[in-house]
Amino acid sequence: MVNNAGIFEGGDPVEISNDQWRKVLATDLDGVFYGCRAPCRTLRRRRVRSSTPHRFSGLGGDWGMSPYNAAKGAVVNLTRSLALDLGKKGVRINSVCPSLTRTGMTAI
């Protein structure tokens, strides 16, 4: 399973509306959580892997991207927690944080 939910709303943090903030977190964070939770029983029975790609932005901050960075940072830690909780039940959770380089996208 690849759990890849995400949208971008950004700008000056003082100017970002509450609706923009909630929209990003609801999609980028809640979407990943619900996407992982829904198939949990099936994943445990089959002992398969789940991958949660997130942007490199989840590991640090970027100008004008506070809602996006906050959601992606939360997804990084959510993935770590899910790996601990579900790993002992036979579900392997992995994460990939792609970033832009001179040659295009690369996995870190």
Contact 54, 66 (CB under 8 A): no
Establish whether 34 is a catalytic residue.
no
- Residue from 57, 66, 68, 79 carrying the catalytic annotation: 68
Instruction: Give the CA distances from residue 95 to residues 40, 64, 72, 91, in Å, rounded to whole numbers and listed in that order.
Output: 17, 25, 12, 13
Give the sign of the dihedral formed by CA 108, CA 81, CA 45, CA 43. Answer: negative
**Which residue in 39, 52, 38, 49 sits closest to 6, CA to CA?**
52
Helix (H, G, I), strand (E, B) or coil at 96: strand
Q: Give the active site residues.
A: 68
